[in-house]
Structure 1
Amino acid sequence: MTPRTKMAVALPLVTVAILLVVVANVTNWNALREPIAHAVHAKTHRTLRIGGDLDIGLQWPVVRVHASDVTFSNPSWASRPNMIDVRHATVDIAIFPLFRGQIVFPQVQLDQAALAFEKSRDGRRNWLLDRRQRDSQARVAIRHLAVGDGRVEYDDPAQGTRLSARITTSHGSDKTSAPLRFTVQGRYKGEPLAAQGAGDAILALRDETRPYHLNVSGKIGQTAVGADGRITNLLKLSAVDLQIVLRGANLAQLYPLVGVVFPNTPPYRTRGRLVHGPRQWRYEKFTGEMGRSDIAGSLSIDTGGRRPLLVARLDSTRLDISDLGPLVGAGQAGEKPARAESAPTGILPGKAFRTQRWNRMDADVTLEAGSIDRPAALPLHRLSTRLRLQDGRLRLDPLRFDVAGGTLAGAVTLDGRASPIQAAAKLQARTLQLAQLFPTLDRSMASIGEFNGNIDLKGQGDTVASMLGSANGQASLVIDGGEVSKLLMETMSLHLLEMLQLKVTGDEPVRIRCGIADFAVKQGVMQPDILVLDTDVSRIDGSGRIDLGQERLDLTVVPKSRKPSLVALRTPIHVQGSFAHPQASLDKGKLAMRGLGALALGAVNPALALLPLIDAGRNADSECRRLIGEVRAADR
């Protein structure tokens, strides 16, 4: 062993020996009150006052200090004169850390204490002991804290936080094991807070091995929470294992509180297990309700990357379709939809997406809904989708609904990196059954038959209404086969004698030969390249426009009879007005053929693009296929 090594070993031993001798022989510790106060002031420029008795004893490996009537002042910028005001204090000082220049209190017991912690707007913290209160290393490390009766204040004006807590320990034969109770009131990040709870008497502030039992309930803003379980290291939350109940008006309101981006939702209530380990929070096996829907699953938040990553698997056995409204800006059931200031009042969702939060975290969420509660006129049955949010770009892919015996599936993308949002939707409707598509109609009005369709749109805007109002693309629909009410078709053709006859003898079905609706969409205006419904009774051609931006209809349908009728008005029918209140009227100019030339099937090339919508295997003798074949022949 070298002389330097021997010195390094001997010096601490000699110091400890001197300390033992001093502690054993000093009988009046009160004489050290002023020297200790001067030393603290020289180091911190703050005043320590010990007004009562001071006593120091050795309880290896700590020095135990008893003091009464103790105050420690705040820096000049703080709002209160003192940071600490304690009637009785017992402090254990660890001996070995002193040799490394560290002050560690393994245990602190306070009775009748008032503690005030405060942050300034420029980042200074009154619990840091350097002269400028900025050095995070200049603090006393407290491992465990017991408070018999005290008040704790915390003020952070930059965050809008001001809290006041009352702490009491019930008195029993073993005070260290008596439960601690507390109440907290004030504001947290601008939201009103009120909470109460209980825990172990000894607060395990920095202990990595001793979990601290906690039971708490309270409310922050419109969010109520109850939790029961154990937390390891209260200051850093090294490990958390709590059973929690969470209830609130909107999941999006959690963002200011926890920094996690959730979508707008109806009121919710969940119950599950919250677990925290290194770099990850998990909410496991939770169940609950959201609006009128049930919800269950698990989610995790990984904080170790460039941004937090939310991964969730959600299941719903009963999803109420109205509860999806807030996600797309439509509001809750029974609530008047919020509209953008520039958008007209209408039925399309008009509440803006909060894209400014999208680049603050990433997400990968899978949702499966086994059944859907919806109005009878909306034949949706199942929903499955995967939502991915990455770098401010949100994508629903795949997105699939079971609809009317068929499927509506595809992908929707919202790019929040652009202003306004760049949106795209590509959806396919396959094998939708006519009878199921219109379940509220009499089965005689639409029975056998199915249709297919494509939607391919791109637009921009911060609301669904503005995205559709600026959309470009194509929307196509083909009805191949089926039956429809003969009375309905005779009525649209204004065949008066046939209508009267059917009223007397009863309605009957008539075969649908083909139905085609092929719309070009430019700047939110839909104009038909082909709009035709062909039946054994009559053929109905259509023209006009549908303005998605203004949410208005301006369509003309012209019936053409396939058989002579003695009394037929043969008048075009106009369908006009808003989406919410459309109105039909007869053309008083009678046979005004506005736009019908563009509907001649032999001259419309876009019909060729509709061929993929016809199932050649199942519809080899398809009327629509023959109709489009005529277009191809006429185009040569």
Structure 2
Amino acid sequence: MKVIRGLVAAVLILAIGAVVLVVALPGEKIAKLAADQVKAMTGRELVFEGKVGISWYPVLGVTTEKVSFGNAAWSERGPMFTADKAVIGVDVMAAIGGEIRVKNVELVAPEVLLEKTTDGRVNWDLSDGTSPVVSGQSAEAQTGGESAPTSVTSTASQFESFALERLVISDAQVRYIDHGGARQELSGVSLAMTWPDVGGAADVVIEASPFGAPIQLDAVVAAPLALIDGDVSAVELAVQAGGGSARFEGRAGIAPEASGKLAVSASDAAAFLAALGTGGLEGPLAVQGDVTLTRAGVVSVRGGRVTALGNDLTVLADVDLNGVRPKVTAQVATQALRLVEKEGDESSQSVEAAPVGWSKEPIDASALGLVDGTISFAAEAMDLNGIAFGKTRATVKIDRARAVARIQEMEAYEGAVTGLFVANNRNGLSVRGDLKVSQIALQPFLAATADLDKFTGTADFESRFLSSGETLDAIMNNMSGDGRVEVGRGTIEGIDLDKLLRGDVTGGTTVFNSMVASWTIADGVLSNRDLLMKLSRLSATGKGTVGLGLRTIDYVFSPQLNGPDGPSLIVPVKIKGSWSNPSVVPDLEAAVKRSFDKEIKAVEDEAKQKLEKELGLEKKEGQSTEDAIKDKLEKEALRGLQNLLGGN
């Protein structure tokens, strides 16, 4: 019983003591002490507005109404943050002993303003405002209520009695203003920080959904005081977003500045990048490398490696973050690059368009507006959706959503390609090209690019084109330009012009010694009228159109045997239909007509002579038979009229 009575008495004494402590705690003094400690640490004002009350559950301390924290001296935009409510918890045991030490701070619905000046200063750098205060006491306390000169001390000495076990910020709205560039706004941001030992590490967790999907950042800061002093600290950062993660281990400061190793791993690159406010990739994504961020706002990547879209790339880059868009200078290299259409494109195309049509899927060219700069690219081999290339060296320059890709070297189908390609997405997507190709093998090239496999030989050609549109179908149908091709010795499968001229239409192969042609393009239709092909015993001309948009051909070849007085036999061949399955038919009617033009004319001349003799026509010099007959009929009609009227 004595033990029970003792326990009851102890509980009663503690309860009474707690009540007395809560009643005796001066809320205004706690709030003022917190403000003085913040002033000592940062040099900025922490102002509590409205009523200050005592809170004893779940945290012993005070609750305040609106609270604000001062901005940097150079800012003209008001406080760095304001909050609707603040809860300040104190160390109970220290309070019982007569000392008030702040341990917990909770801010409800704060509005945070982050600013960066054109010369690089940031308002979250608190080191510039450090006041000459010692051991967390106010300047007034140090001088007995009278102001007196003090000496500057380090932030570490100011924090000797500080122990912020927990800082909680909920439902924050964050505005970021770069006075030389972008402005951004985030809402629904939460932060939780634990820092139990002023000389130890702090753990920070930040959650936000700036682009719809949640993002969580976990950070371990080894030396928070170093950051407050404007120095760097060892840090570990981990970001979780959209099924992917990113980790950084190294050193960082609030300038901002950082240097360390970065690793990114995402099973779904599209979801991960969408959560971060960007896109352009699908499938798995992996990134690693040594990253440095300088106070001048320049990011450097060394030893970078990127695995995306099934490709493995090495990256060396410098990115200047100052300005409207990041400015990139980079070198990208790969052993083999492979880019293919995603699954389902062919089936969806066959439903929406004719089987021989181009894709009507909208082209997303928004990536052109993400950065400016110059990117050098090198690959030993490339497969671009079934079109194969060998060793390639190219440079891409991007300026305000306009990219110019200049090809210095590109091996393609036993030949070489040089030139430039321009993609401009400033006001809708447009494309332009100026390409030169030398000694390219026609059969594999045309089979890969146009589903044509009937031509062999090596060709030199140059082409210029211009088009615009939001789909590949629109671009091909809006195409304009011109070009020229020269082909050396080659063949045309499926037709033997020599056999055709001897009356054999069973097909075969035409062997030619050379072929030249030029063309113009308008509204997606290529027109040619000057094709000339030379064979061993005959020659051929050609003219017609090729529908680049519709992927059709309507062309006439005219092979001819050459006699002493010119072509003795001409047999036109019509090639018409789709690229993948054109019909090749000789135009025998035209052949007969052309071949017997002389015979038909001779028959006509003989008939006219007989008619002139029978009618007794007297033709004047240069007068045709038709005109002579007309004159004779007019004279006969006049003579008959005179007789009718009784004339002579």
Normalization by structure 1: what TM-score?
Answer: 0.61
Q: In structure 1, how many angstroms separate the alpha carbons of the residues matched to 2:576 and 2:481?
A: 23
Cα 1:526/1:223, change in 2 over 3 Å: farther
- Backbone CA RMSD of aligned residues: 5.1
Could you tell me how far apart the structure 1 residues matched to 2:501 and 2:51 are? 98
Residues 517-557 of structure 1 show CA distances to partners (whole Å, capped at 9, x for unaligned) of 422111222111334544447656544323334x2313134
Is 1:337–1:350's contact at 8 Å kept on the other side of the alignment?
A: no
2:264 to 245, 264, 267: 245
Structure 2 counterpart of 1:347, from 358, 362, 365: 358
* Aligned mates of 1:552, 1:37 — CA distance in 2: 78
Q: For 1:314, which of 328, 332, 339 is the aligned residue?
A: 332
The amino acid of 1:71's aligned partner reads: T
User: 1:374 deviation in Å?
Assistant: 5.8
Partner of 1:384: 393
Report if aligned partners of 2:395, 2:405 keep a CA contact under 8 Å in 1: yes
1:269 and 1:406 map into 2 onto residues whose CA distance is 35
Tell whether the 8 Å contact from 2:125 to 2:228 is kept in structure 1 after alignment. no
State how far apart, in whole Å, the 2-side matches of 1:293 and 1:247 are: 15
Q: Which residue of 1 aligns with 2:9?
A: none
Q: Say if 2:184 is the partner of 1:162.
A: no
Q: Does 1:489 align with 2:496?
A: yes
**Counterpart code for 2:248:** A
1:71 is matched with 63
In the alignment, is the contact (CA less than 8 A) between 2:248 and 2:260 conserved in 1? no
Deviation at 1:281, TM superposition (A): 1.3
Task: Spell out, residue by residue over 1:448-504, the C-alpha distance to the aligned partner (whole angstroms, 9 max, x if none).
Answer: x521001111233345543443232202221022x437775369959886859x8xx
Q: Would the alpha carbon gap of residues 461 and 400 (structure 1) be closer, same or farther in structure 2, given more than 3 Å must change? A: farther
Give the letter for the 2:110 counterpart: E
User: Which amino acid in structure 1 is aligned with residue 289 of structure 2?
Assistant: G
1:395 Cα deviation after fit: 1.1
Q: Relative to 1, partners in 2 of residues 1:562 and 1:90: Cα closer, same or farther, differing over 3 Å?
A: farther
User: Which residue, out of 394, 403, 410, partners 1:401?
Assistant: 410
User: Residues 610-625 of structure 1 correspond to what in structure 2 (within 5 A)?
Assistant: none
Q: Secondary structure at the match of 1:188?
A: coil
Number of the residue aligned with 2:515:
515
Counterpart CA distance in 1 for 2:125 and 2:26 is 23
Q: Is the CA contact 2:207–2:217 (under 8 Å) kept in the aligned structure 1?
A: yes
1:572 and 1:455 map into 2 onto residues whose CA distance is 27
Alignment pair present for 1:364 and 2:374:
yes
Name the SS for the 2:496 alignment partner.
Answer: helix
CA distance in 2, matches of 1:495, 1:84: 103
Q: Which structure: larger Rg?
A: 2
Equivalent residue letter for 2:363: A
Q: Do residues 82 (structure 1) and 104 (structure 2) align? A: no
Preserved contact between residue 146 and residue 201 of structure 1 (Cα < 8 Å): no
Alpha-carbon offset, residue 231 of structure 1: 1.3
- The offset of 1:513, in angstroms, is 1.2
The one-letter code sitting in structure 2 at the alignment partner of 1:216 is A
Partner of 1:544: 544
Provide the C-alpha distance between the structure 1 equivalents of 2:187 and 2:46, rounded to a whole number of angstroms: 32
Alignment correspondent of 2:298: 280
* Match in the other structure for 1:45: 49
Residue type at the aligned position of 1:237: P
Asked if 1:153 is matched to 2:170, the reply is yes
Does structure 1 residue 303 correspond to structure 2 residue 321?
A: yes
SS at match of 2:28: helix
How big is the shift at 1:218?
1.5
Contact 1:353 / 1:463 at 8 angstroms: preserved in 2?
no
**TM-score computed with the length of structure 2 as normaliser:** 0.60
Letter in 2 for 1:386: T
Corresponding position of 1:602:
none
Paired with 2:491 and 2:482, the residues of 1 have a C-alpha distance of 27
Change (3 A) 1:252 1:245: closer
Instruction: Trace 1:108-257 onto structure 2 (pairs within 5 A).
Output: 111=103, 113-116=105-108, 118-119=110-111, 125=112, 147-149=164-166, 151-156=168-173, 159-167=185-193, 175=197, 180-181=202-203, 183-200=205-222, 202=224, 204-219=226-241, 221=242, 224-233=245-254, 236-247=255-266, 249=268, 254=273, 257=276
Match in the other structure for 1:58: none
**AA of the residue aligned to 1:275:** T
How many percent of aligned residue pairs carry the same amino acid?
13
Does the aligned pair in 2 maintain the 1:285–1:297 contact within 8 Å? yes
Structure 2 runs not aligned, ≥5 long:
1-22, 36-44, 69-80, 95-99, 116-122, 131-154, 176-184, 564-568, 595-648
Question: What is the aligned residue count?
Answer: 486
Cα displacement (A) at 1:226: 2.1
Match of 1:34 among 20, 28, 37: 28
Q: Which residue of 1 aligns with 2:555?
A: 556
Amino acid at match of 1:484: T
- The answer to whether the 8 Å contact 2:48/2:66 transfers is no
**Separation of aligned partners in 2, 1:185 and 1:555:** 63
Distance 2:93 2:437 in 1: 75
In 1, distance between residues paired with 2:460 and 2:168?
69
Residue of structure 1 in register with 2:529 after alignment? 529
- Once residues 575 and 476 of structure 1 are traced to their aligned partners in structure 2, the CA distance between those partners, rounded to angstroms, is 22
Q: Secondary structure at 1:466's aligned position in 2?
A: helix
Whether the 8 Å contact between 1:90 and 1:110 is mirrored in structure 2 is no
Q: Is contact 2:575-2:585 (8 Å) kept?
A: yes
2: distance between equivalents of 1:423 and 1:495? 48
Shift of 1:272: 0.9
| 8 Å Cα contact 1:117-1:153 kept in structure 2 | yes
1:537-594 Cα shifts (integer Å, max 9, x gaps): 7656544323334x23131343636599xxx9967444324x6xx432355975468x
